[in-house]
Amino acid sequence: MINLTKETVVLAELLAAAQGLSVEEAIRQALEARARAAGVLLRDPQMRRDQSAAAIAARKASVDRIVADIAAMPILDSGAPREIMDELNAL
Tens digit of pLDDT for each residue in 19-52? 999 999 999 999 988 988 887 876 656 666 778 8
Residue 39 lies in a domain: yes
For residue 47, give its domain range: 6-90
Specify whether the CB–CB gap between 35 and 41 falls below 8 A: yes
Residue 25 lies in a domain: yes
pTM given for the model: 0.45
* Burial class of residue 86 in the structure, from the number of CB atoms within 10 Å of its CB (0-12 exposed, 13-18 middle, 19+ buried): exposed
Residue 1 lies in a domain: no
Residue 85 lies in a domain: yes
Number of structural domains in the chain: 1
Q: Give me the chain's average pLDDT, please.
A: 89
Residue 61 lies in a domain: yes
Provide the 10 A C-beta neighbour count for residue 15. 15
Locate all alpha helices (DSSP H) within the chain, ordered by sequence. Answer: 6-19, 23-37, 53-71, 81-90
Residue 46 lies in a domain: yes
